[in-house]
């Protein structure tokens, strides 16, 4: 009986400790659905875990044993990595596809650069430097998310602090914080990245909004990407936010070519039950503007500022939100040339040139507002492409306007060691287009430095434009986005063709050498091993009787 009493006491203590741990943590999930004007559907999943009253680990204490961490809802695998390398703020994104700013507007999550992007803020320390912890962090994240983040070495690492400002608070440590940023445009997101992503959620994908994360539908989207965001909020705690966003095409899924959609038609699933540990679980649907009549079912819990909100509770009925346009027979895609862009600034970038030694980098920035816009321009380029900074020129409507480029900062690349970092402030006149051109040089690589698919070319990371100041127009108006947090605009990645040796020559040499060796070896082998014998042949007699007599004599 004594052991039963001890067992019950231990069980009660475990339950009490779990309740205390859950009280210091909270988990929220939400899904934001936004119909787009081209018939597509933008969906953003967000799962937020807050560790109340927690602080990032002081990097000066890395030489000492860390205090014990007990997590109930906070992702343990990620929390251990954050504590091990004393990370204050972290942002990781894995994206596939090209985000269309002009047709889709700004994304819900700003980090939509193609490929992998990782940037962190870490405090300096004496026991372990920032670069050493940065190396260990990216290798740990590579193992956690099954991604090639280990390739984000010093050849791709920069510190553009003007563009990537901290989104949370930085603790007042003894030493200041430093930024590390790196991109890998050739990285692709797939199911092997989504599986460890789901394991970080308290309910996994068995219940709640996360049950809609069907990989067969997510990776069939026109654009998709997942993100991991960690930030510290003073007097609040440490927050980990896991996001997945995608752009789906209901017209492509519909046999009648209609833009009607539902959770079942888009994700092939509905929400059967709520996540029991979620403090709040909501689905928000932005109601489309315009005169086209539509219907949304079931009735939302609330409608505020054009957003219908559904609360995912413990009801027995499955939740399947649907929106239909009953007056439309088939959806007609709008003409791209007639539709105005949905962002204040439009950006295009390309690389011009006909040879494999030189080229010209062109950046075309269009100001869609009737007011002057000031934007930060960031170009992070691997040493595979080297800038000629003295050839940087700006033109507006064919007129040279080099005065529109100011506060220019350039860090030249070091071959095999450091990428190039170009930062500048661009002044965009009202309703105008700025052309920025610069000559670049393509270096020669060693034959051992080429990729396995060398003839395909090299992927170059996207440029980043950050509009942060909006001036007054001729009529005294100010842009409506003035005063909000600046949002980053990513350009599509580029493909550069470098001078590539003829990798078929080794194959040809091997074939020729093997052929010659076979001929020479075969001839010598026959001469050494074959025995030559002289055989005397007598002429045959003409008469058969004589032949028979000679045979008897023998």
What CATH number does the domain containing 470 carry? 2.60.40.740
Same domain membership, residue 394 and residue 318: no
Mean pLDDT, residues 388-400: 93
Mean pLDDT, residues 403-416: 92
pLDDT over 90 (residue 42): yes
| Pairwise CA distance, residues 335 & 332, whole Å | 9
Same domain membership, residue 372 and residue 235: no
Task: Name residue, tokens 């339950």.
Answer: 15
Range of lowest pLDDT (11-15, 32-36, 57-61, 152-156): 11-15
Same domain membership, residue 258 and residue 367: no
Under DSSP, is residue 535 helix (H, G, I), strand (E, B) or coil?
coil
Same domain membership, residue 194 and residue 94: yes
Question: Which run of H or E residues covers position 374?
Answer: strand 373-381
pLDDT confidence of residue 337: 57
Same domain membership, residue 367 and residue 227: no
Same domain membership, residue 399 and residue 312: no
**More confidently predicted of 552 and 113:** 113
pLDDT over 60 (residue 15): no
pLDDT over 80 (residue 539): no
| Residue 515 within any structural domain of the chain | no
**More confidently predicted of 216 and 175:** 216
| Residue 191 within any structural domain of the chain | yes
Cα–Cα distance list, 156 to 150, 152, 165, 169, 251 (Å): 11, 6, 19, 26, 40
The domain tally of the chain equals 2
pLDDT over 90 (residue 78): yes
- Which pLDDT band holds residue 62 (cuts at 50, 70, 90)? confident
| Residue where a domain stops, chosen among 478, 496, 514 | 496
Same domain membership, residue 253 and residue 181: yes
For 198, residues 6+ apart whose C-beta sits below 8 A from its C-beta are 204, 205, 210, 213
| Residue 506 within any structural domain of the chain | no
| Pairwise CA distance, residues 138 & 81, whole Å | 10
**Could you tell me the strand order of the sheet in which 295-297 lies?**
261-262, 322-324, 295-297
Three-class SS string for 125-168?
CCCCCHHHHHHHHHHHHHHHHCCCHHHCCCCCEECCCCCCCCCC
pLDDT over 60 (residue 418): yes
pLDDT over 70 (residue 209): yes
| Residue where a domain stops, chosen among 496, 525, 545 | 496
Range of lowest pLDDT (52-61, 177-186, 207-216, 262-271): 52-61
pLDDT over 90 (residue 5): no
| Residue 527 within any structural domain of the chain | no
pLDDT confidence of residue 477: 44
pLDDT confidence of residue 260: 93
Helix-helix angle 76-84:130-145, to 10 degrees: 160
| Residue 128 within any structural domain of the chain | yes
Cα–Cα distance list, 17 to 10, 72, 203 (Å): 11, 10, 20
Same domain membership, residue 440 and residue 315: no
pLDDT confidence of residue 345: 92
pLDDT confidence of residue 315: 77
Same domain membership, residue 355 and residue 301: no
| Residue 289 within any structural domain of the chain | yes
**More confidently predicted of 541 and 87:** 87
| Residue 306 within any structural domain of the chain | yes
pLDDT confidence of residue 236: 94
Beta-bridge mates of residue 230: 90, 240
- Which pLDDT band holds residue 515 (cuts at 50, 70, 90)? very high
- Which pLDDT band holds residue 504 (cuts at 50, 70, 90)? confident
Mean pLDDT, residues 182-208: 93
| Of the candidates 224, 175, 181, the residue with the CA atom closest to the CA atom of residue 40 | 224
Which residues form the domain of 269? 23-324
Same domain membership, residue 377 and residue 316: no
pLDDT over 80 (residue 266): yes
| Residue where a domain stops, chosen among 446, 474, 496 | 496
Mean pLDDT, residues 424-451: 92
| Residue 5 within any structural domain of the chain | no
pLDDT over 80 (residue 72): yes
| Pairwise CA distance, residues 369 & 74, whole Å | 43
- What size, in residues, is the chain? 554
pLDDT confidence of residue 127: 77
Token reading at 206:
């068995």
Share of the chain above pLDDT 90, in %: 64
Same domain membership, residue 128 and residue 230: yes
pLDDT over 90 (residue 279): yes
pLDDT over 60 (residue 480): no
Token reading at 93:
């994104």
Mean pLDDT, residues 218-224: 95
pLDDT over 50 (residue 8): no
pLDDT confidence of residue 63: 85
- Which pLDDT band holds residue 1 (cuts at 50, 70, 90)? very low
pLDDT over 50 (residue 123): yes
Same domain membership, residue 201 and residue 166: yes
Spatial contact of 437 and 362, defined as CB atoms under 8 Å apart: yes
Spatial contact of 432 and 396, defined as CB atoms under 8 Å apart: yes
């Amino acid at each position: 009986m004594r052991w039963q009493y001890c067992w019950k006491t231990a069980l009660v203590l475990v339950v009490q400790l779990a309740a205390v741990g859950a009280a210091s943590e909270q988990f929220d999930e939400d899904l934001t659905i936004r119909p787009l004007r081209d018939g597509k559907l933008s969906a953003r999943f967000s799962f937020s875990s807050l560790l109340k009253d927690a602080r990032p680990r002081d990097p000066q204490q890395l030489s000492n044993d860390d205090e014990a961490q007990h997590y109930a809802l906070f992702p343990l695998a990620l929390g251990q990595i954050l504590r091990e390398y004393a990370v204050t703020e972290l942002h990781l994104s894995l994206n596939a596809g090209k985000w269309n700013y002009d047709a889709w507007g700004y994304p819900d999550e700003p980090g939509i650069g193609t490929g992998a992007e990782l940037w962190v803020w870490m405090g300096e320390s004496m026991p372990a430097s920032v670069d050493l912890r940065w190396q260990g962090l990216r290798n740990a994240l590579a193992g956690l998310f099954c991604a090639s983040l280990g390739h984000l070495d010093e050849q791709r690492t920069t510190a553009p602090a003007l563009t990537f400002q901290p989104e949370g608070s930085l603790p007042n440590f003894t030493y200041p914080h430093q930024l590390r940023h790196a991109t890998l445009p050739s990285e692709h997101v797939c199911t092997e990245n989504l599986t460890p992503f789901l394991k970080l959620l308290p309910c996994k994908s068995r219940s709640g909004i996360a049950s809609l994360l069907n990989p067969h539908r997510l990776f069939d989207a026109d654009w998709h990407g997942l993100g991991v965001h960690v930030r510290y909020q003073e007097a609040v705690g440490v927050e980990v936010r896991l996001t997945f966003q995608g752009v789906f095409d209901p017209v492509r899924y519909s046999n009648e070519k209609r833009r009607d959609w539902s959770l079942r038609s888009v994700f092939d699933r509905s929400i059967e039950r709520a996540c029991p540990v979620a403090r709040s679980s909501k689905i928000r649907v932005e109601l489309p503007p315009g005169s086209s009549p539509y219907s949304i079912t079931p009735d939302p819990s609330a409608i505020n500022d054009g957003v219908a909100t559904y609360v995912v509770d413990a009801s027995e009925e499955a939740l399947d939100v649907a929106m239909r346009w009953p007056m439309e027979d088939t959806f007609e895609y709008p003409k791209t040339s007639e539709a105005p862009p949905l962002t204040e600034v439009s950006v295009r970038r390309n690389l011009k040139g006909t040879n494999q030694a030189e080229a010209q980098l062109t950046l075309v920035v269009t100001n869609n507002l009737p007011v002057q816009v000031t934007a930060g321009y960031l170009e992070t380029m691997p040493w595979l492409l080297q800038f000629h900074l003295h050839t940087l020129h700006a033109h507006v409507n064919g007129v040279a306007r080099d005065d529109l480029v100011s506060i220019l900062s350039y860090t030249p690349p070091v071959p095999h060691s450091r990428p190039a970092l170009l930062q500048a402030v661009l002044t965009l006149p009202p309703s105008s287009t700025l052309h920025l051109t610069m000559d670049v040089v393509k270096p020669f690589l060693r034959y051992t430095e080429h990729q396995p698919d060398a003839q395909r070319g090299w992927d170059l990371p996207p440029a980043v434009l950050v509009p942060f100041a909006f001036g007054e127009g001729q009529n005294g108006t100010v842009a409506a986005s003035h005063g909000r947090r600046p949002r980053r605009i990513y350009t599509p990645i580029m493909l550069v063709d470098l001078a590539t040796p003829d990798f078929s020559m080794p194959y040809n040499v091997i074939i020729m050498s093997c052929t010659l060796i076979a001929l020479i070896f075969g001839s010598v082998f026959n001469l050494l091993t074959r025995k030559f014998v002289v055989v005397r042949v007598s002429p045959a007699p003409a008469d058969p009787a004589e032949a028979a007599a000679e045979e008897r004599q023998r």
